[in-house]
Amino acid sequence: MHYVHPFTVLQLDNLRRQAMGIVAARLSRAEPPLRREVVEYMLDADSHAWSIRRSKANFFRVTALLSGAASTARWLADVCRWKNPAATVLVHVLFVTLTCFPDLILPTMFLYMSAVGLWNYRRRPRRPPHMDASLSCAEAVHPDELDEELDTFPTSRPNAVVRLRYDRLRSVAGRIQTVVGDVATQGERVRSLLAWRDPRATALFTAFCLVAAVVLYVTPIRVVALVVGLYVLRHPRFQSRMPSAAGNFFKRLPSRADTML
């Protein structure tokens, strides 16, 4: 039934709160009784409420998740700069081999992941996971932040405390607003490539797409990939410290941020 006619977010929240109330009422009659606040905390009843400690913890979780991709990008940049010539030559050989024999790409990827899994076997967890205070940012939490997390909704604190917390929230939200605005600007620049907001840029991009379509139609894709890869991995002697023409062209594209108040 819930697949054909799915519940709304409000209905799901009401069902979750009713189930929590049933569990809390049953555990309150146990021996020893368990208070309702403990049940609500264990079931994350207020997980949607604002908590700067939880926000920091989630930010560090995302940072740790993306650290692998960031380290890979740094390693690739070092390869392109020829900081380790042996590694760069090995990458050249591997890239040319995979380009000439594309059937080996997927087997190589799965072989690499299986090797990583076998390598991490010796570092496998030996005990069940437990509550991590450092991951939860609970070791050095400020008393005011903890009081804000345990505050009622609507708040029951004095106006001075609420004003201080509001100013702190504004500073955090300001940084989030800047990041969201930058992401929106980059997306609008991509969309403006074909929107004729800048007639010269759209005409150049349209002509480039037409030439690229003709070139890719008459040229095998592996030859194009090989040329592009060797161009990216070229020696620093043939690289320029100035920004690329494509990056400069993209940064000059218009966005809707120019028309905002």
pLDDT score of 46 more than 70: no
pLDDT tens, residue by residue, 68-116: 888 888 988 888 888 888 888 888 888 888 888 888 888 888 998 999 8
Around Cβ 33, how many Cβ atoms within 10 Å? 10
pLDDT tens, residue by residue, 203-256: 999 999 999 899 888 888 888 888 888 888 888 777 777 777 888 888 888 888
In this structure, are residues 172 and 52 in contact, taking their beta carbons and an 8 Å threshold?
A: yes
Residue type, 193: L
Distance CA 22, CA 17 (A): 9
The first and second tokens of residue 101, run together, are 């024999």
One DSSP character per residue, 50-69 reads --HHHHHHHHHHHHHHHHHH
Among 55, 39, 51, smallest CA distance to 149 is for 51
pLDDT score of 1 more than 70: no
Around Cβ 3, how many Cβ atoms within 10 Å? 5
For the chain, domain boundaries: 1-48, 50-119+133-157, 182-261
Q: What is the pTM of this model?
A: 0.71
